Structure 1
């Protein structure tokens, strides 16, 4: 039987030191990238929130300005993660993408302009769809604000838009692990849509009754 030669202890030690060195370089690089992109992601979320607030105040130029800042930050994240895509697919980056999408859609819906393309800034489809789901809540907020101000708007068209969004979201039938809990946000969007439908129906009935009362008073 042929005798198997055993490596010397010194050889193992050399190999372990090499593994340690390579691992240290790798993790140090990933950690640095993660810290950079985490900071940028927080700034994106902040600018997106400011954009949504500006949109609801009809400060659309300011809303766009905040979005432009977020877009620059998204591009920077792509450049940083170019060599290590595993960092790019981190949950906190997808959360930042989702907030950017929500803010972009809010501005688009309130200004009757085109929706942002899914391919922009390599946005993950799950992040886009979850941002779309949360934009339904911003539509409700806008509708209620305008109803309180008694602003005449094509409310039915906005309700149809909410319904179209829900129909799209409900058609995505994949595990939550892939879609980042899209099913839950879809259920929330449906609830928001139904509440808004009820509010618009009640407002329409009240307007009809008020008009009838006005006519009756003047007829008498």
Structure 2
């Protein structure tokens, strides 16, 4: 048992160099040939193993000579790494496309909410959730892709769409587990959802629905009041501090718009009362 090197001539008189490996510990192996080498590799039915000494170069040509050795393990190791990177890169390309698709569905959901096309918004939101599930299934064998920027950004957009829909419809706020996103993506999506509610406030003000606009402002205020208490490094929160600072500016502008509208309503009511007395 072990490794054998055979040198001699063939029946036709040509020189022949052969290599054989026999092992009780790793019996399921074979020799494959390449242009300039022969390699010992596991067979298809071999048990999975991380042992780097299972595969190695046994014969190699070098400037017209043939080198027979106990094995150079560099090539098989690199080929295994290359195969892993190839699979990961394919998953990355697929995930990138999935994330773009997810962001598009989330954007369409929010647009439908602002247009008060709530049935369409609900359908688009469900499609977005399905796209997110498909994306996460694609990267499950490659967990390192889950925390890349494009994956987290798309999950943040999913959170934003879910939160905007829930607040506008007067539904309970979804938790991270309900959307199946991690905490950092959820918090950043929550902040962006609060900023998105400014547009809803302005639309309601234009439609003379100030009471509902006040409800949107209250929701924005509640979200901001909680987010400012999350005092952890950006490496954990995904840059939440910057997003929260941006929300603060949006919140104050919206508060000013709603306050001005309420004061104008009061003034208009007072003027109407005065005019009614004058007419009498």
TM-score normalized with structure 1 length:
0.90
Structure 2: how far apart are the matches of 1:217 and 1:206?
16
Partners of 1:33 and 1:81 within 8 A in 2: yes
1:112 to partner: Cα distance: 0.4
Once the two structures are superposed, what CA deviation does each residue of 1:9-50 show, in whole Å capped at 9, x if it has no partner? Answer: 976973111122111111001001111111000000000000
* Corresponding residue for residue 236 of structure 2: 178
* Corresponding residue for residue 93 of structure 2: 35
Partners of 1:78 and 1:121 within 8 A in 2: no
Aligned equivalent of 1:199, options 239, 252, 257? 257
* Corresponding residue for residue 3 of structure 1: none
Partners of 2:105 and 2:127 within 8 A in 1: yes
Partner SS state of residue 72, structure 1: helix
Unpaired segments of 5 or more residues in structure 2? 1-57, 59-66
- Range with bigger deviation, 73-82 or 196-205: 73-82
Aligned equivalent of 2:135, options 59, 72, 77? 77
1:154-165 to structure 2, matched below 5 A, reads 154-165=212-223
Partners of 1:77 and 1:88 within 8 A in 2: no
Say what the alpha-carbon RMSD is for the aligned residues. Answer: 1.9
Query: Considering only CA atoms, is the larger Rg found in Structure 1 or Structure 2?
Result: 2
Partners of 2:167 and 2:219 within 8 A in 1: no
* Corresponding residue for residue 128 of structure 1: 186
Structure 2: how far apart are the matches of 1:11 and 1:22?
21
Q: Which has the higher helix share?
A: 1
107 and 213 in structure 1: CA distance in 2 versus 1, 3 angstrom threshold: same
* Corresponding residue for residue 93 of structure 1: 151
* Corresponding residue for residue 74 of structure 2: 16
Partners of 1:38 and 1:92 within 8 A in 2: yes
Unpaired segments of 5 or more residues in structure 1? 1-7
Aligned equivalent of 2:206, options 145, 148, 154? 148
Structure 1: how far apart are the matches of 2:70 and 2:187?
51
Partners of 1:74 and 1:121 within 8 A in 2: no
* Corresponding residue for residue 111 of structure 2: 53
1:55 to partner: Cα distance: 0.3
- Higher RCO, Cα 8 Å, sep 6+: 1
Structure 2: how far apart are the matches of 1:117 and 1:177?
22
